[in-house]
Structures are given as structure tokens and as C-alpha cells.
Amino acid sequence: MSDDCVSYVYAVGQRGPALESAAAAGTAASGHRGLRAVFGGQLGALVSSVPADQFSEEGVKSQLESLDQLEAIARAHHAVVAAAWEETTVLPMRLATVFLDDARVADMLRNRADELARLLGQLEGHVEWGVKVYADPHGAPTPAAPVPSGTTGAGPGRDYLRQRRARRRVHEHVVHAAEAVAARVAEAAGEVATAGVAHRPQQNGAVAAGSGENVANYAFLVRSQHTQRFQRAVRSQADGMVGVRIEITGPWAPYSFSTSTTAAHDGSTPADAHGH
Amino acid sequence: MADMFPGRASSSMSPYHQQGSGANLADILERVLDKGVVIAGDIRINLLDIELLTIKLRLLVASVDKAKEMGIDWWEHDPSLSSRARGADGEVTSGSERLAVENERLRAEVNRLRAVETEHER
């Protein structure tokens, strides 16, 4: 047991050479030279040693409160998981899952073997795709030009209000269209995907103006061999739509389907899934 | 050297292989903070803290990348994240303080009116 270090767990997979390769890939991707596979029973975990003071209860809390440090931890975690995922099926752990030492990690692997093995089995051969639907009124036709002021006698004030109302109507129209597309995307994707969940739509701050309004934010678990079919099914839902944009991200390691309480078969929202 | 991953996955999905270091921070945070297998490790991270943090992050998460690019520190300026942030009128010190004062005032008013009413009913 090392004195000032604790064992940080990134992901769990089946025991075997593939997990060793995953550790090597994770090392290359993240620069964590101490990244290793720790085995317990039929399973293994990707683990690195991190400073105990930074990953104590208080340490983590203060790290998470700094956006820069949070970003660093989140990206490092993700880099290891993503690189490992390319080598073999792994379950991504929630950020900052920390044990006192490797022996405790091995204990955990043995204690939770049934549940972890079952999840691994469900995810084998799948990838996660993110699908976001945006309403982007900037891409829609601008409202018809108002009647030139002077001819109405009402002055520029009324023109301005009329224009504003027209813009608002366009905006509402585009949002409704995007919501309809989102519903069709969920249906079409659901026919190809093994499972799907709805994440909360991402909010746009003032600085993100122009990228549109995120009306739906889904994640789908899709068999690798269905990738093309899935993407065609999703993308075609926005064909011919003005002001509606579909963004696909991935492939992701199946984070959204690794919540231990999520039954990977229904469309339950993540909010339902982590009430414990 | 070791920067090639001839893994099983790369063949079928190369055109979309973008979720390494270049992935959108909002998408990453959404997953690593909110998803993934939850196992109580030896260090008990307070899940409530993480959930609160996640809620806060949702408010700004889509803007994080751009905000950082532009050198904007959202933790300082978003009213929901910092009591130092000011309202649009620029004169309010703390939203929650103001609400508390307002609540107190309204409660007192309601009590006063109730007292008057019961007196009238007698």
C-alpha cells in the first residue's frame, strides 16, 4: 500500500489481455504512467494512483468547485475510458470513484461481480450515440419585411413591434417543428437502438447564441453493426426541415447505460434512474 | 508508437471518431458526473454535493467551452452560482437575501390583514 496515494477507478472490464491493452491505451491517451489493470475474480479494473489529499472527501469537493480542475479531472477520466473502450468492453465508473488501495478495488470487484458482469454482458458489442435536436430560428426565413414606415402613419414604433411579433412567431414555429422532429427521432432511433434515454436538454448561455435552442438531448445504445442504419434513420428526420438541426456525437463508451439501476431496455429518463 | 489503437472499434466508426480529447466539455460532464456505474468507494464522495454541482453545471454547461474561450468566468457572474453576481439592474447585492427580506415583509403583511379580517368578523 502506498503512503500518500489512493486508487482511482476509471472503468471495469472482463479479466484478460484485452484489459491489459486497455490499460496501455489509457496510459497513452491520458499520460497517467501509473495506469494499470487490477484483477479480482473474473473482472478487472483500470486504476491509477492519485494523491490522497486531493481525493479525500474535502479534497474532491474543493477540486470540483473549480471549473478548471473539474475540467481537468473530467477530461482525464474520459480520456482513459474512451481509449480503453476502443480495446474492449468496459463499464465507465462515475467520476471520482476512489479506494484506499488496489486490494480494496479487488475486493469490490469480487463483491459486485454478478451485477458488473451482467452489465458488461448487456453492453457487449454496443456503442453509445448522443443525438441532440436544435431549433435554430437563425436558419429559418426572416419574417416578411414590414410595410415601409411613413405609408401607414403609425411610425417606426409600430413597425418595430410588428417585426418583433413576426420574429417571435418564427421562433415558436421553429421550436414546434424541432419538437416534432425530436419525437420522430426518438421513434426512428428506437427501432434500431437497443435502448435509449433522454438527458436534459443543454441550456444555451448568452455566449452560445447562434447555435440554436436544444429541444431534445438523447443517448442511444446501438449495436456496432447497426451504426450506419442508425445514423441514416436519425439524420433523415431533419430532411427538408428549415431551422431544425440534428447533431450526433459519439461513439461514446456507454456511460448513459452503465448506471447500475438503469434497466437497459426501457426509455426511462436518467432522473428516474438515480434516486438511491 | 503507442498512439495507434488498432482496436476492434476503430474500423466501423472512424468518420465520427471525435470523442477523445476534442469532445465537447458539456457532453463529457453530462456523462462523467451524472452517469456511469455508481460504486461507493472508500472515500465517500457526498453524492448530494455532486448532484448540486450537476444542477449548477446544467445551467451553464453548454456555454462553458465558449465562455472559457472568451475568458468569461461564469462562476463569478452567473446569478445562480454566485451571490456576488448582480441582477440586471445592477443594484441588488444578493438574490436570495433580497427574497428573504421580501418574504418576511409579505408574511408580516398577510398576518396584519388576517388580524384585521378576524376582527371584522366578530
Return the residue in B12, B43, B78 with the most chain A beta carbons within 10 A, the one to mutate for interface testing: B43
Mean pLDDT of A196-209: 66
pLDDT of amino acid B45: 65
Question: How many domains in chain A?
Answer: 2
The answer on B72 and B98 residing in a single domain is: no
B34 & B77 share domain: yes
Q: Which residue has the higher pLDDT, B19 or A44?
A: A44
Say what the pLDDT of residue A210 is. Answer: 47
Model confidence at B116, pLDDT cuts 50, 70, 90, reads low
Residues B81 and B30 in one domain: yes
Confidence at residue A139, expressed as pLDDT on a 0 to 100 scale: 65
Same domain, A193 and A236: yes
Q: Say if the Cβ atoms of B67 and A225 lie within 8 Å.
A: no
Residues A88 and A172 in one domain: no
A223-249, pLDDT tens digit by residue? 999 999 999 999 999 988 888 999 999
Q: Highest mean pLDDT: which of A2-6, A48-52, B9-13?
A: A48-52
Quick: pLDDT tens for A60-85: 878 877 777 888 888 999 999 999 99
Tell me what pLDDT residue B92 has. 38
| Of residues B18 and A180, more confidently modeled | A180
Provide the edge-to-edge strand list for the sheet that holds A90-99. A36-40, A43-51, A5-14, A90-99
Q: Looking at CA atoms only, how far is residue A239 from chain B in angstroms?
A: 20
* Residue B1 pLDDT > 50: no
Report the predicted TM-score, pTM, of the whole model to 2 decimal places.
Answer: 0.71
Tell which wins on pLDDT, B80 or A258. Answer: A258
Q: Is residue B15 part of a domain?
A: no
B36 with B58, same domain: the answer is: yes
Q: Which residue has the higher pLDDT, A103 or A2?
A: A103
Per-residue pLDDT at B75: 41
Q: Which residue in this structure is represented by grid cell 410595410?
A: A147
A195/A147 Cα distance (integer angstroms): 52
**Is B78 in the same domain as B41?**
yes
Partner-chain residue, chosen from B8, B35, B63, that has the shortest CB–CB distance to A258: B35
Residues A92 and A22 in one domain: yes
Q: What is the pLDDT of residue A81?
A: 94
* Chain A residues closer than 8 Å to B56 by CB: none
B38 and B78 in a single domain? The answer is yes
Lowest mean pLDDT among A44-53, A57-66, A89-98: A57-66
Q: What is the pLDDT of residue B38?
A: 81
Residue B40, number of CB atoms within 10 A of its CB:
10
Instruction: Indicate the residue among A123, A146, A161 that finishes a domain.
Output: A123
B115 near A CB under 8 A: no
**Statement to judge: residues A217 and A177 lie in one domain:** yes
Which three cell numbers, joined as nine digits, stand for A159? 413597425
| Structural domain for B48, as ranges | 24-85
Confidence class for position B49, pLDDT limits 50, 70, 90? low
**Can you give the pLDDT at residue A66?**
75
B96 min Cα distance to partner chain A (Å): 20
Residue B51 has pLDDT above 70, yes or no: no
Query: Quick one: pLDDT band at residue A259, thresholds 50, 70, 90?
Result: confident
* CA distances in angstroms from A12 to A15, A16, A82, A235, A253, listed in the order given: 9, 12, 13, 33, 12
Q: Measured between alpha carbons, how far is residue A13 from residues A25, A31, A87, B97 in Å?
A: 14, 21, 11, 50
- Among the partner-chain residues A57, A95, A211, the one whose CB lies closest to the CB of B33 is A95
Overall number of domains in chain B: 2
Q: Does A89 touch chain B (CB under 8 A)?
A: no
Which residues from chain B sit within 8 angstroms of residue A225, using beta carbons? Answer: 12
Q: What percent of chain A has pLDDT above 70?
A: 84
Does the beta carbon of A70 lie under 8 angstroms from any beta carbon of chain B?
Answer: yes
Q: Do A94 and B38 make contact, defined as CB atoms within 8 angstroms?
A: yes
**Whether residues B56 and B37 fall in one domain:** yes
Helix H or strand E segment including A185: helix A155-192
* Residue that finishes a domain, picked among A97, A123, A149: A123
Q: For the segment B58-108, what is each residue's pLDDT rounded down to a tens digit?
A: 555 444 544 444 443 434 444 444 333 333 333 334 455 556 666 666 667
Cβ-based neighbours of B27, under 8 Å, separated by 6 or more: A130, A249
Say which residue the cell 434515454 belongs to: A197
Quote the cell numbers at residue A162: 410588428
Q: What residues of chain B lie within 8 A of the CB of A214, using their CB?
A: 62
Out of A97-111, A162-176, B54-68, the most confident range is A97-111
CB A220 within 8 A of CB A189: yes
Beta carbons of A96 and A199 less than 8 angstroms apart: no
Q: Any chain B CB within 8 A of the CB of A14?
A: no
Verify whether the Cβ–Cβ distance B61 to A9 is below 8 Å.
Answer: no
- Which of A57, A65, A67 has its CB closest to that of B46? A57
Are A109 and A144 within one domain?
no
Task: Calculate the average pLDDT of chain B.
Answer: 55
Looking at residue A264, its pLDDT comes to: 38
Does residue A244 sit in the same domain as residue A257?
yes
Interface touch A98/B45, C-beta < 8 Å: yes
Residues B81 and B28 in one domain: yes
Q: Does A18 lie in the same domain as A46?
A: yes
Shared domain check, A264 and A156: yes
Chain A contact for B28 (CB, 8 A cutoff) = yes
Q: How confident is the model at residue B11 (pLDDT cuts 50, 70, 90)?
A: very low
Q: Which of A97, A110, A261 to mutate to test the interface with B (most CBs of B within 10 A)?
A: A97
Please tell me whether residues A98 and A118 are part of one structural domain: yes
Last residue of a domain, one of A123, A141, A164: A123
The answer to whether residues B50 and B100 belong to one domain is no
Q: What average pLDDT is seen over chain A?
A: 84
User: Tell me, what's the ipTM?
Assistant: 0.79
Which DSSP category does A16 fall into?
S
Same domain? For B80 and B98 the reply is no
**Domain range for A179:** 126-273
Q: Is the minimum CB–CB distance between B48 and chain A shorter than 8 Å? A: no
Q: Are B7 and A12 in contact (CB < 8 Å)?
A: no
User: CA A225, A230, A233: angle at the middle one, nearest 5?
Assistant: 150
Q: Verify whether the Cβ–Cβ distance A203 to B13 is below 8 Å.
A: no
* Residue B5 in this model has a pLDDT that exceeds 50: no
- Better-predicted residue by pLDDT, B48 or A252: A252
